[in-house]
Structure 1
Amino acid sequence: MRRLIAGLVLGTALATTPMAAQAETPKNALVMAFAIDDLITLDPAGMFEFSALEYAGNTYDRLIGFDNDDVSKIYGVVAESWDVSEDGLTFTFKIRDGIKFASGNDLTAEDAAFSLQRVVLLDQSPAFILGQFGFTADNVKDRIRATDENTLVMEVDQPYAPSFVLYCLTAGVGAVVDKKVVLEHEKDGDLGAEWMKTNYAGSGPFALNKWTAGESLSLTANEDYWDGAPAMKRVIIRNVKEAASQQLLLQKGDIDIARNLEADQLASVKGDENIKLLSKGKGALWYLGLSQKNEFLSKPEVREALKYLVDYDGITETIMAGRAQTHQAFLPEGFLGAYNENPYSLDIEKAKALLADAGLADGFTVTMDTRNTTAVMSMAQSIQATWAQAGINLEIIPGDNKQTLTKYRARQHDIYIGRWGPDYQDPHTNASTFAWNPDNSDDASAKPLAWRNSWNPGDMTAEVDKAILERDSEKRAAMYVDLQKKVLESGPFVIMFQETEIAAMRDNVNNLVLGPSFDNNYYRFVTKD
């Protein structure tokens, strides 16, 4: 079933040319330039960053997967099949025979149970995905358990829509780790967490070779992979943040794929007969997070004014040319219940009137934490210019993604410009972060985007909880449309764009898979002519 993915990208190049001379990279190695400065950990139980989860998608097998072209089609990966009890509370998974970890150990239901338990017990950033189902450190070993080598049982606390539960297991937290290897490296009861930050214990098509933080990430093919060994024996990812540098390396043949070309570089390589482009609409959203601890941003008139102070058309047509479309609601187009109306456009005079209503006719000064890549800085500078027309002095604070994320997660920002990708393909993934916040205190255990921006969404939290129990898809979709309208009206977010990813490749590179989410980009099918 998974082999069908190999055909997904055939015929999807935006530009095709006659066969060009072979790139100067080895024929059995894939070399990419990619901004991977957001890598913090290689542990699936802790990773919550775009680059890390793409890494995990290529090195770890997950319990469940979905078709990249039709995300409504869910299939088993480590879990070959499953059953749901009549009361909707018990999921029983049959674990596939014949899967081995890189260590040579057999993958069993005990490994799968341990992996899920470990996510909950470590309680790091992605743990909330499983915590939604009532799993806690006290009960998880009873509620998630292996009953024999091939049977995994998971007992949830409410009769959720089954697809919601299954989609959560397609996320990074559904990655299965080698229990024996992980526990061999356990220190002081940390379940191997410190070791796993920079090491590997998976069964996927590629294994970790070496990660040099800030420089490169290299993988080696799993020649014994249960679903077929990759054609590329090595994958080398070079951390190159500058788009112009990526273009130069690509056109010289020093790399096979450039992942972060900006508008100018994409326009230039389209005329190169040795380069072809591959695009895929993604679920990622570009947005501004407005801290409600800030005395100015906490005013509803200010929040609304800022939504009228973004040059949506100008940014999509120039800075993001081809790589984004205007989208202002929290569910990306393509999700159940997505609201695709865009009520805001650049309107300086309307914004000024709203600021005057807030008692801020003379404007104010505020800071924005910004990842120091070309596209993000250009977006920030465009916003800075339009805000200035309404009297707002926006100070841009650039930094590496790791720095800006750390500050944002600690609620120490005024404004954060960021890119948010869904953790799974169910609408709850975004509803539960943009419109849900059960505890707005600084020491809360759940830390969704609403919490990061110190916003209490009130009754919306209960409405989000209610939506995941609705099994009628039309009724459920209507609930999400209503939530999106409410967040648009009152939320501390300026949601701006939905991403289109473009990869530029040497003409001899085939079958790279770009998926609908950041962790569904696959290297295992890549070949070179």
Structure 2
Amino acid sequence: MRSNSTAALMALALSSATAIFQAGPAFAEEPQKGGTLRILGSAEVDRFDTIPPATSDAVNFQRAVWRQLISFAASADTAEQVKAVGDLAEDVPVPTNNGLTYTFKLRQGAMWNAPGGARQITSEDIERGFKRMCNPAIGSPHLTYFENLIVGLADYCAGFAKVEAKVEPMKAYIEANDITGIETPSADVVTFNLKTPANDFIYLLSLATAAPAPVEVLNYMPDSPEYRTNFISNGPYTIESYVPDSMLRLVRNPAWKPETDPLRKAYVDAIEIVAGVQADAAMQQLQSGDGDMLYDHSIPPASAQMLIAQGDEKMSTVTTGRTRFVWINTVSNNNGGALKNVKVRQALSYAMDKAAIVQQLGGPTFAKPLNGIFPPNVIGYHEFDLYPSKDAKGDPEKAKALLTEAGYPNGLKLKMPYRNIGSDPALAQTIQESLKKAGFEIEISPVPPADFYPRLITNFSNAQNGVWDLVPAGWSPDWPGGAAGSIFLPQYSYNGTHGTFNFSDYNSDRANELAAKASATTDAEESVKLWQQVDETVMADAPTVPLVAVYTMLYHGPAVRNFLPYAPGGQGDWTNVWLSR
């Protein structure tokens, strides 16, 4: 059955897991309710809606205010971290119809905090969430996972694309049209019909974009000021106040019933996400007890090394599959379209000194060189290197030879903006020095964090117009464990419609064919081998230069208890910690 195949995939993903530290000690005190959890970060929560693009950091916010059919438990056990469980769904169903049909029974008592009073979440709300994915105003970056998988969704979205991007016509289209592959035979039952078997479909339903939508949101543009002002939650917390670029305060949702939610205890009364706090200052506040947890900061290597040496029990780790890499712009005509030449891209791959990047990030405790698109602990990861060099230090001479073969014996001048936050400036300088040895002159320029992803590199016109040639980027799988599809599909496949995170519309028919087979098979071993072939196929084209797999180090303040990793968010679970102060 599909469930057995999926479980086998999870086991294979975990078999290569290497934990640097275990989670901190489980405190034996009796949990206490109350208090305000203070989350410190450099940037604010960039999206409140489930539909538009959002950073991976926003997953923890979404965990507090939204529920999906499927989710994951917060746990120190790596096997439990990647086990899909029912959230709004009563349980995880076994598919029928040869793996093409999934039927979910909804939990009763799971409510919207609606303007007219608490209201039961229904199957129509589930379908409405899917209908909003391809709205013509601001669509979901995760649409590619679903559009050609759920029966009728591609046709529904094709019709929606013709609708004017305004509230009234979008609302009218959603209310007048259905997705044929999503059935709502009763208020508490929803059924999905797929075109092909997909051994990761259950995990797709854990994404925030698959969350239900109350009918009221159709009165507003997605994630508009009006949407935010009239925010409706179905999780344990809801928005009380919001000061842009400063603070977002969440308080208890009066419509949420703890007996309907097996995953969130909601011990604290309020959660404050404070923006504008630099990494060193945030760590100081955590150590002094003035702050509790981090939002978008990685722990500075110097701080982490000191805390490890001191044996600080508030240090822990979570496996998220985080990677750092450099994306190459293959659509602009800069330098006569030089980056469209695979030999130039391969030269960049040979030139990169990954060992220096590991050291810049704090050493092998914090990162390891990566040579493919899949990181450790994700299906498809395996040890291979199409562009080898001694000790991962790069091969400038091989790179220069390839540049000469490509017609650029004097090197190339390339533009590389970078996110001006945390370790990114130092990382950009390390990349710059690394490539300089091979004849690449890299012009680096800082970009504010709030602009880097939403306005610079996810805006395709910037790639087409040559605003950038290279960009250092990061990626975390959209769900934990068997998440090869969440790396390949959004970043390395192109179906004729630009995807948010495939920055230069890279596509490989061969890789797409292999990926489709890997997702459809019920043979776990075959799926692993196919995803490995996908990795090697993509890397032969060198659309990106993988740099490192990053180990996610976690830290929290002294008052925080029950700090359990929530793997999709790469942090402790806000909805399950409690405070001793």
TM-score range, shorter chain: 0.7 to 0.9
Aligned residue runs from structure 1 range 164-313, under 5 A:
164-177=200-213, 179-183=214-218, 186-187=219-220, 190=221, 195-197=226-228, 200-222=231-253, 224-225=257-258, 226-227=260-261, 229-240=265-276, 242-258=278-294, 259-270=297-308, 276-294=314-332, 295-313=337-355
Instruction: Indicate if the aligned counterparts of 1:284 and 1:422 stay in contact, CA closer than 8 A.
Output: yes
Counterpart in 2 of 1:435?
492
Partner Cα separation in structure 2 for residue 250 and residue 275 of structure 1: 13
Counterpart in 2 of 1:45?
51
C-alpha displacement at 1:62, in angstroms?
0.9
Partner Cα separation in structure 1 for residue 428 and residue 251 of structure 2: 38
Change (3 A) 1:342 1:166: same
Partner Cα separation in structure 2 for residue 83 and residue 251 of structure 1: 46
Partner Cα separation in structure 1 for residue 368 and residue 311 of structure 2: 27
C-alpha displacement at 1:194, in angstroms?
5.7
Instruction: Indicate if the aligned counterparts of 1:432 and 1:448 stay in contact, CA closer than 8 A.
Output: no
Are 1:36 and 2:67 an aligned pair?
Answer: no
Letter in 1 for 2:204: C
Partner Cα separation in structure 2 for residue 348 and residue 304 of structure 1: 12
Are 1:407 and 2:414 an aligned pair?
Answer: no
Counterpart in 2 of 1:420?
475
Q: Could you say what secondary structure the match of 2:414 adopts?
A: strand
Partner Cα separation in structure 2 for residue 150 and residue 198 of structure 1: 29
Q: Could you say what secondary structure the match of 1:396 adopts?
A: strand
Q: Could you say what secondary structure the match of 1:381 adopts?
A: helix
Counterpart in 1 of 2:407?
359
Letter in 2 for 1:437: Y
Counterpart in 1 of 2:3?
none
Letter in 1 for 2:197: Y
Partner Cα separation in structure 2 for residue 434 and residue 47 of structure 1: 14
Q: Could you say what secondary structure the match of 1:438 adopts?
A: coil
Letter in 2 for 1:332: P
Q: Normalising to structure 1: TM-score of the pair?
A: 0.86
Partner Cα separation in structure 2 for residue 192 and residue 213 of structure 1: 14
Match among 314, 319, 324 for residue 367 of structure 2: 324
Counterpart in 1 of 2:576?
525
Partner Cα separation in structure 2 for residue 274 and residue 232 of structure 1: 24
Instruction: Indicate if the aligned counterparts of 1:333 and 1:340 stay in contact, CA closer than 8 A.
Output: no
Identity of aligned residues (%): 19
Match among 157, 182, 189 for residue 144 of structure 1: 182
Are 1:125 and 2:141 an aligned pair?
Answer: yes
Change (3 A) 1:369 1:191: closer
Instruction: Indicate if the aligned counterparts of 2:493 and 2:506 stay in contact, CA closer than 8 A.
Output: no
Per-residue CA deviations over 1:316-343 (Å, capped at 9, x if unaligned) read 2332444332222112222222224345
Q: Could you say what secondary structure the match of 1:84 adopts?
A: coil
C-alpha displacement at 1:456, in angstroms?
3.4
Are 1:76 and 2:90 an aligned pair?
Answer: no
Instruction: Indicate if the aligned counterparts of 2:357 and 2:547 stay in contact, CA closer than 8 A.
Output: no
Match among 511, 515, 531 for residue 464 of structure 1: 515
Are 1:98 and 2:89 an aligned pair?
Answer: no
Partner Cα separation in structure 2 for residue 79 and residue 244 of structure 1: 41
User: Which shows bigger deviation, 247-256 or 192-201?
Assistant: 192-201
Q: Could you say what secondary structure the match of 1:141 adopts?
A: coil
Instruction: Indicate if the aligned counterparts of 2:358 and 2:369 stay in contact, CA closer than 8 A.
Output: yes
Change (3 A) 1:217 1:269: farther
Partner Cα separation in structure 1 for residue 310 and residue 98 of structure 2: 59
Counterpart in 2 of 1:3?
none
Per-residue CA deviations over 1:366-392 (Å, capped at 9, x if unaligned) read 111211013111111101011112221
C-alpha displacement at 1:60, in angstroms?
0.7
Partner Cα separation in structure 2 for residue 127 and residue 193 of structure 1: 20
Letter in 1 for 2:492: A
Letter in 1 for 2:424: V
Instruction: Indicate if the aligned counterparts of 2:233 and 2:253 stay in contact, CA closer than 8 A.
Output: no
Instruction: Indicate if the aligned counterparts of 2:41 and 2:278 stay in contact, CA closer than 8 A.
Output: no
Aligned residue runs from structure 1 range 382-393, under 5 A:
382-393=430-441
Change (3 A) 1:381 1:334: same
Partner Cα separation in structure 1 for residue 428 and residue 90 of structure 2: 46
Per-residue CA deviations over 1:134-178 (Å, capped at 9, x if unaligned) read 41325743322321121112222x2313x321111011122223x
Aligned alpha-carbon RMSD (Å): 2.9
Partner Cα separation in structure 2 for residue 208 and residue 507 of structure 1: 26
Are 1:510 and 2:524 an aligned pair?
Answer: no
Partner Cα separation in structure 1 for residue 97 and residue 346 of structure 2: 46
C-alpha displacement at 1:518, in angstroms?
2.9
Instruction: Indicate if the aligned counterparts of 1:115 and 1:175 stay in contact, CA closer than 8 A.
Output: yes
Instruction: Indicate if the aligned counterparts of 1:438 and 1:461 stay in contact, CA closer than 8 A.
Output: no
Per-residue CA deviations over 1:208-230 (Å, capped at 9, x if unaligned) read 22333322222123463333641
Per-residue CA deviations over 1:112-152 (Å, capped at 9, x if unaligned) read 22222222445333332321324132574332232112111
Partner Cα separation in structure 1 for residue 88 and residue 34 of structure 2: 31
User: Which shows bigger deviation, 65-74 or 231-240?
Assistant: 65-74
C-alpha displacement at 1:520, in angstroms?
7.0
Instruction: Indicate if the aligned counterparts of 2:60 and 2:574 stay in contact, CA closer than 8 A.
Output: no
Letter in 2 for 1:159: T
Letter in 1 for 2:446: P
Paired residues in the alignment total 499
Per-residue CA deviations over 1:196-217 (Å, capped at 9, x if unaligned) read 3565322112222233332222
Q: Could you say what secondary structure the match of 2:384 adopts?
A: coil
Q: Normalising to structure 2: TM-score of the pair?
A: 0.78
Q: Could you say what secondary structure the match of 1:276 adopts?
A: coil
Instruction: Indicate if the aligned counterparts of 1:36 and 1:51 stay in contact, CA closer than 8 A.
Output: no
Change (3 A) 1:311 1:131: same
C-alpha displacement at 1:101, in angstroms?
2.2
Partner Cα separation in structure 1 for residue 421 and residue 367 of structure 2: 16
Letter in 2 for 1:126: H
Partner Cα separation in structure 1 for residue 570 and residue 303 of structure 2: 25
Per-residue CA deviations over 1:433-482 (Å, capped at 9, x if unaligned) read 3432222xxxx2x41644x2243324323333333222222222111111
Per-residue CA deviations over 1:471-523 (Å, capped at 9, x if unaligned) read 22222211111110111221310011222222222233222232333377521
Letter in 2 for 1:447: G
Instruction: Indicate if the aligned counterparts of 1:422 and 1:430 stay in contact, CA closer than 8 A.
Output: yes
Change (3 A) 1:297 1:241: farther
